[in-house]
Amino acid sequence: MKNTTRKNTTPIKVYRLPHEREAIKANAAATGHTASNYLLRVGIGYPMKSILDNKRVEELVKINCDLGRLGGLLKLWLTNDERAATFGEPTIRAVLSKTSDTQNVMLEVIRRIVLPRSKN
């Protein structure tokens, strides 16, 4: 006796408007699934988790690493480390400016994560 697989069974038709199809595809993409798999999982009652938040967290980790490297350069200069002896005031001001810019980028990423949730 042959095992039954999903491919060997009759599909369920879902009547929808074109904009509804696009919404389903967008929701499926946000969870990392195909539209068919997304509808199956939602229909069975499986909880769906967005992968978008994971991507934003990865962005924040990269930004945090940049801040750490900039902080390390500043620390070398402040401790009069000989490796930073060639750093002049313009270089240090540039590092501080870059740190501030990076913090602003990080805040913007955080806003994109938090604000969409607070609008719901």
89 with 108, same domain: the answer is: yes
Question: What is the number of domains present in the chain?
Answer: 2
In which domain, by residue range, is 40 found? 6-44
Question: What is residue 54's three-state secondary structure?
Answer: helix
Note the pTM of the prediction, 2 decimals. Answer: 0.45
Helix, strand, coil percent content, the chain, rounded in steps of 5: 75, 0, 25
Are residue 16 and residue 66 in the same domain, yes or no? no
Say whether both 62 and 114 belong to one domain. Answer: yes
The full 3-state SS of 68-91, as one line of letters, equals HHHHHHHHHHHCCCHHHCCCCHHH
Q: What is the mean pLDDT of residues 49-54?
A: 71
pLDDT value at residue 116? 58
Residues 62, 100: one domain? yes
Higher pLDDT, 107 or 42: 42
Q: Quick check: is 77 in a domain? A: yes
Same domain, 71 and 21: no
Label residue 120 by pLDDT band (50, 70, 90): very low
Q: How confident is the model at residue 49 (pLDDT cuts 50, 70, 90)?
A: confident
